[in-house]
């Protein structure tokens, strides 16, 4: 697969209107969800290194409660990248004279579609007790909507203040609002304020039984994450071409937020299931560092071939995220690669089959990419 290599300033300016690095980073993020995790685990097992396998397994699972692993970055990174697109998808149209109501319609449409797609993962099974009102896509949709309203009405600096205000306000809610039977500031799975809201506001199945990591007021820290992304998007959109200056700003911002998140952990624990404010700040820091790396290599150095694996995934992220819920790609991979896996032997078989799943998924996405077929929500 070859990607265009703009050379002139005008070509770079056009290419800048869609950040190739952002699409590649989104694909990198989704890669782990759709099959990168079992592939890495299978590879680690094949090496025979127990320490390497233990490290991979540790970093490819969510922290049960307090703490942070690489896997805990997957979701907030996606939320951050959704925010980066806002200056391109919202602000640019407002600056061209489009009214606010069309922007609102797109926000509402996106939110409703994401919520419905998320609900479909459990509702279409026709098992009422399994319906999960909170879900990943629903949190993205509602969080994006809240952040989008701020972007529509407030300038860039105010957007940053709104992000800070949401994080501080959420911190205050976790610490000061009492939970019946526990009191205020009890940040345990059963005693935290957000879990209390999860159990009492909306009926249905909770992912963690006593709380849901995508539930209720977590939409506000999610919106704050999107607004941090929006601030980043404003920076990149306002540059005529990709520059080292932008790389430096992204890197410095990330290098500041990562230790700030760990420092905040001393008074407000980093808890992914709560989307605690310290967790958001830490995740934003790592997200900025990752974007700085992808932006440097792909947009500044113009080494776009390095993103060839991730670009088809990133351009159809919602399609493949829904696809792995609707279709059994492992069955298809076993049809095409099962015989070879069995021939390769017990040691290599898990690695072959894990790679086969990704090959099947990527082939489908590459076909859609070449045909310019993209699911837009």
Q: 338-368 pLDDT, tens per residue?
A: 999 999 999 999 999 999 999 999 999 999 9
CA distance 310 to 286: 19
Q: Is the pLDDT of residue 14 over 60?
A: no
CA distance 46 to 40: 10
Length, in residues, of the chain: 377
- 167: number of Cβ within 10 Å: 25
Q: Looking at residue 358, what is its pLDDT? A: 97
| Tokens 């969800």 -> residue | 33
Q: Is the pLDDT of residue 220 over 90?
A: yes
Mean pLDDT of the 252-280 span: 97
Mean pLDDT of the 322-345 span: 94
Q: Is the pLDDT of residue 9 over 60?
A: no
Q: Looking at residue 215, what is its pLDDT? A: 87
CA distance 22 to 15: 12
Q: φ, ψ for residue 190 (rounded to 5)?
A: -95, -25
Q: Is the pLDDT of residue 69 over 60?
A: yes
Mean pLDDT of the 247-276 span: 97
Tell me, yes or no, if the pTM score tops 0.85: yes
Residue 127: which pLDDT band, with cuts at 50, 70 and 90?
A: confident
Q: φ, ψ for residue 43 (rounded to 5)?
A: -65, -45
In whole numbers, what is the pLDDT of the chain averaged over residues? 91
Q: Looking at residue 319, what is its pLDDT? A: 94
Q: Is the pLDDT of residue 108 over 50?
A: yes
Q: Is the pLDDT of residue 270 over 90?
A: yes
Mean pLDDT of the 55-77 span: 96
CA distance 195 to 189: 7
Q: Is the pLDDT of residue 12 over 50?
A: no
Q: If we measure between CA atoms, which residue out of 171, 176, 169, 174 comes closest to residue 146?
A: 169
User: What are residue 178's DSSP bridge partners?
Assistant: 184
CA distance 175 to 183: 10
Mean pLDDT of the 171-197 span: 94
Residue 204: which pLDDT band, with cuts at 50, 70 and 90?
A: confident
Q: Is the pLDDT of residue 16 over 50?
A: no
User: What are residue 271's DSSP bridge partners?
Assistant: 66
Mean pLDDT of the 121-146 span: 89
Q: φ, ψ for residue 19 (rounded to 5)?
A: -70, 110
Q: Looking at residue 376, what is its pLDDT? A: 77
| Tokens 């942070």 -> residue | 68
Q: Looking at residue 206, what is its pLDDT? A: 84
């Amino acid at each position: 697969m070859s990607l265009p290599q703009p050379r002139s300033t005008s070509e770079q300016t056009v290419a800048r209107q869609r950040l190739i690095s952002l699409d590649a980073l989104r694909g990198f993020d989704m890669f782990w969800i759709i099959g990168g995790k079992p592939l890495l685990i299978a590879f680690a097992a094949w090496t025979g290194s127990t320490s390497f396998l233990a490290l991979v397994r540790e970093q490819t699972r969510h922290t049960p409660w307090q703490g942070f692993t690489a896997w805990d970055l997957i979701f907030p990174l996606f939320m951050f990248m959704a925010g980066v697109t806002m200056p391109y998808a919202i602000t640019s149209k407002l600056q061209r004279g489009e009214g606010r109501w069309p922007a609102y319609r797109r926000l509402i449409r996106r939110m409703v579609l994401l919520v419905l797609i998320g609900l479909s993962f459990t509702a279409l099974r026709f098992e009422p007790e399994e319906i999960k009102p909170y879900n990943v896509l629903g949190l993205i949709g509602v969080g994006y909507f809240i952040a989008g309203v701020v972007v529509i009405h407030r300038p860039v600096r105010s957007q940053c203040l709104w992000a800070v205000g949401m994080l501080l306000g959420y911190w205050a809610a976790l610490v000061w609002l009492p939970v019946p039977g526990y009191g205020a500031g009890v940040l345990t799975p059963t005693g935290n304020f957000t879990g209390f809201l999860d159990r009492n506001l909306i009926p249905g199945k909770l992912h963690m039984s006593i709380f849901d990591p995508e539930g209720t007021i977590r939409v506000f820290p999610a919106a704050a994450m999107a607004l941090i992304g929006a601030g980043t998007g404003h920076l990149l959109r306002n540059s005529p071409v990709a520059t080292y200056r932008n790389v430096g700003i992204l890197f410095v911002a990330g290098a500041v937020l990562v230790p700030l998140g760990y420092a905040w952990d001393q008074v407000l624990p980093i808890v992914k299931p709560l989307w605690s404010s310290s967790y958001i700040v830490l995740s934003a820091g790592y997200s900025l560092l990752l974007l700085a790396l992808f932006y440097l290599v792909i947009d500044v150095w113009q080494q776009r071939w390095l993103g060839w694996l991730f670009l088809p995934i990133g351009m159809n992220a919602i399609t493949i995220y829904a696809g792995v819920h609707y279709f059994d790609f492992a069955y298809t991979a076993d049809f095409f690669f099962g015989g070879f896996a069995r021939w390769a032997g017990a040691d290599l078989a898990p690695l072959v089959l894990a790679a086969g799943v990704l090959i099947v998924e990527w082939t489908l996405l590459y076909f859609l990419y070449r045909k310019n077929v993209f699911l837009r929500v």
